[in-house]
Amino acid sequence: MISSLTAENLVCVRGEKRVFEGLSFRVTAGQALAVEGANGAGKTSLLRMIAGFLAPAAGRLIVHGAEGESDDAEERGKSIGWLGHQDGLKPQLTVIEQLQFYAHLYGKAADLTLLEQVGLARQSDLPCRYLSAGQRRRLALARLLAGARPLWLLDEPFAALDTAGQALVGQLMARHCGAGGMIVAATHDPLGLANESLKL
Amino acid sequence: MSPFATLLARDIRLAARSGGSAALALSFFALVATLVPLGVGADLHLLARVAGGILWVAAVLAALLSLDRLFQGDFEDGSLDVIALSPLPLELTALAKIMAHWLSTGLPLTLLSPLLALLFNLPASATLILFVSLLVGTPAVSAVGAIGAALTLSLKRGGLILPLIILPLLAPAVIFGAGAVSLALDQLAPQNALGMLAAFAFAAVLLSPFAAAASVRLNLGG
């Protein structure tokens, strides 16, 4: 279990453009960090950097855990639960198959009560192509829960969700932080529970 | 079920439910094999002589039809990000996808080949060698194709560039595969050609997951 994530003087360069530079922050267990900024400010790039998909042009990302600190992207990736712009769902698979796939891929048993938690129990046998955008987002949240990773990286977590869905995301995030998890969320909407915010 | 088996099973399930890729590959293979005898004419000796080359090239082109989607579907819908963060290393992810592609495309093409060999008046002994050569060689098509699919992952029309990248790399498979059939037709021992084909396929399956994974990593950076 990791206890904190520290960014030191991160620099992000995409093509010829310097997206952000000198970015430093720290998130500790139980905290949520809201990353705010205009379109193109580098919110998604920052999340992809933390996930290890994108290497920083300069600076370090350090994870502190029981085994000491590490700036290895691959090691960091093992602690990350990812909710990106896209939901990562296949239209051909049913809701339950989708959840089972990700749970088993992450080496966990599929907990079908997660579908109840996100309000999709009645749709469990429905192929994902019949789900609405909001329902797809809810299933992506169930997938995030199934992975049971301590550091959540959320890109626009409220996108496509109705008011009840947004409240659900808030509850899930509060529960995750309450259990000692960490969240870094790129968002245009207030997170509600964010302890810190970072303006890009 | 292990993460590797989970991904393999999902990709096979997706291929079966999509219906398109395997059926399209089989239909293409069958159509080419049917059209060539119509074009070449009723010279049975000539048909048997060209059968190995034609059926091998047709099998490679048929397998190519679905190769561009090997990683692209997962890349576009965001699944690849989630898979990349799973405990399964990207190299094993690539291997699982290669295996799924072969099981859903290469193997059905191989199983269909004896039937199509009839259209070329191929003797039973040469048909058996054709079958064995495709069985041994088509995994190389999926493996080498995975490298091309990963390289063209973020290109908008990557499917058009993919054949240009991988067809030259597949020349050894076609040469040894078709060569083994020709040798069998001439009642010569095809073991050496089959051995070379097996060695090529083995090397391709062994090495391509590393190349494909490296390319996927580059593309995930965006």
Residue ranges per structural domain of chain B: 3-220
User: Whole-angstrom Cα distance, residue B182 to residue B50?
Assistant: 8
Residue A200 has pLDDT above 80, yes or no: no
Mean pLDDT over A142-147 rounds to 94
Residue A37 has pLDDT above 90, yes or no: no
Per the DSSP assignment, residues forming a β-bridge with A154 are A83, A185
* Tokens linked to A1: 């279990």
Facing B221 at nearest CB: one of A54, A97, A105: A54
pLDDT in tens, A88-103: 999 999 999 999 999 9
Q: Which long-range contacts (CB under 8 A, 24 or more apart) does A174-179 make?
A: A176/A152, A177/A30, A177/A31, A177/A32, A178/A30
Report the chain A residue with the minimal C-alpha distance to residue B15.
A92
Is the CB of residue A85 less than 8 Å away from at least one CB of chain B? yes
pLDDT band at A10 (very low <50, low <70, confident <90, very high): very high
Report the chain A residue with the minimal C-alpha distance to residue B16.
A92
Residue A190 has pLDDT above 80, yes or no: no
* Tokens linked to A199: 């303006």
Residue A193 has pLDDT above 70, yes or no: no
Decide if B86 contacts B130 (C-beta within 8 A): no
Decide if A63 contacts A5 (C-beta within 8 A): yes
Average of per-residue pLDDT values in chain A:
90
Q: Number of helices and strands (H, E) in chain B? A: 11, 0
Is the CB of residue A20 less than 8 Å away from at least one CB of chain B? no
pLDDT attached to residue A191 = 67
State the nearest Cα–Cα gap between B91 and chain A, in angstroms: 13
pLDDT attached to residue A40 = 84
Facing B77 at nearest CB: one of A55, A88, A102: A88
Min mean pLDDT across A29-33, A69-73, B17-21 is at B17-21
ipTM (interface predicted TM):
0.93
The per-residue pLDDT string of chain B (222 residues; one tens digit each, 9 = 90 and over) reads 899 999 999 999 999 888 667 788 999 999 999 999 899 888 899 999 999 999 999 999 999 988 888 999 999 999 999 999 999 999 999 999 999 999 999 999 999 999 999 999 999 999 999 999 999 999 999 999 999 999 998 887 777 889 999 999 999 999 999 999 999 999 999 999 999 999 999 999 999 999 999 999 999 986
* Tokens linked to B187: 């009642």
* Tokens linked to A82: 């990812």
User: Whole-angstrom Cα distance, residue B219 to residue B158?
Assistant: 13
Backbone φ and ψ of B19, nearest 5°: 75, -35
Is A77 close to B85, i.e. CB distance below 8 A? yes
Question: How many Cα neighbours within 13 Å face the side chain of A60?
Answer: 8
Q: Nearest-CA neighbor of B87 among B172, B30, B2?
A: B2
Strands of chain A (E only): list them.
Answer: 2-14, 17-28, 32-36, 58-65, 68-70, 80-83, 151-155, 182-186, 196-199
